[in-house]
Amino acid sequence: MSKLSIKAVGKLFPARGAAEPTRALTPTTLAIADNDFITILGPSGCGKSTLLRIVAGLETASEGRVLLDGQPVTGPGADRGMVFQSYTLFPWLTIIENIAFGLRERGVSERERLDIARSWAERVGLKGFENHFPKQLSGGMQQRTAIARALANDPKILLLDEPFGALDNQTRALMQEMLLGIWEREQKTVMFVTHDVEEAIFMASRVVVMSARPGRIKADIAVDLPHPRPYTIKTSAAFVALKERLVEEIRVEVVGAY
């Protein structure tokens, strides 16, 4: 049985004033296996964020349903961790308190949650910054904290919505390696939204390509590159071939959308 099943989930944003209702997502079906790393690739506005927000429970589907371990998703919850494109650390909490936020919400004792939070801070490379406030950190460090904050809760699935979208290329590449490293060690089910083809291939065990708005799945491609994957893999023949294929898939969509 798959970890997460998305069954014919669609979204129609209701009309507002004179504006027509917006079809953001045509009913989409997708199954994600345990410990899969799925990247969702698609042109801007195709409904990637909408799909992810429905899985997170932050948005209700207009049709269809989402099952996590066979249980229907009815609202947001700690079993689905989420990392957003915008910086969403709580500015009034230090880095360590941010990471421990979800644990405190669950009533974990102070000692235990500090231990867990410290170990996560270390795993994402933030040792020494535990008592800083978010505004004292760079964008990359803030997103690492956000990832640690989501993972400290030990969610069944980790949802990431273009978490590295605002970062420069070097930082971005380092963040991809870090996240992939964590996934290889910890074994997690991950759903990662991006519109960067290279990023999508590098981390994924499966790349799902979406069409232009209204979004639907137009390709579902397994990535059989071996693990652990060093960053040098991005220049290997297999990687480049896959990249060419995906770039073409996306190009058709973007051109078609104009």
> By CB under 6 A, is residue 50 in contact with ligand ATP?
yes
> By CB under 6 A, is residue 194 in contact with ligand ATP?
no
Q: How many chain residues bind Mg ion (CB under 5 A)?
A: 1
- From the list ligand ATP, Mg ion, another protein, none, partner contacted by residue 195 (C-beta under 5 to 8 A by kind): ligand ATP
> By CB under 6 A, is residue 229 in contact with ligand ATP?
no
Q: How far is CA 77 from the centre of its chain?
A: 16
Q: How many chain residues bind ligand ATP (CB under 6 A)?
A: 13
Residue-wise DSSP of 145-202:
HHHHHHHHT--SEEEEESTTTTS-HHHHHHHHHHHHHHHHHH--EEEEEES-HHHHHH
- List 26, 39, 49, 211, residue binding Mg ion (CB under 5 A): 49
> By CB under 6 A, is residue 81 in contact with ligand ATP?
no
* Cβ distance to Mg ion smaller for residue 99 or 193: 193
Q: Report d(CA 193, CA 253) in Å as an integer.
A: 17
From residue 30 to residue 69, what is the string marking binding to another protein with x (rule CB under 8 A)? --------------------------xxx-----------
> Residue 10: which residues within 8 A CB-CB, separation 6 or more?
23, 25, 26, 27, 28, 61, 62, 63, 64
Tokens of 43: 């042109």
Interface positions with ligand ATP (CB under 6 A): 13, 22, 24, 42, 44-50, 195, 213
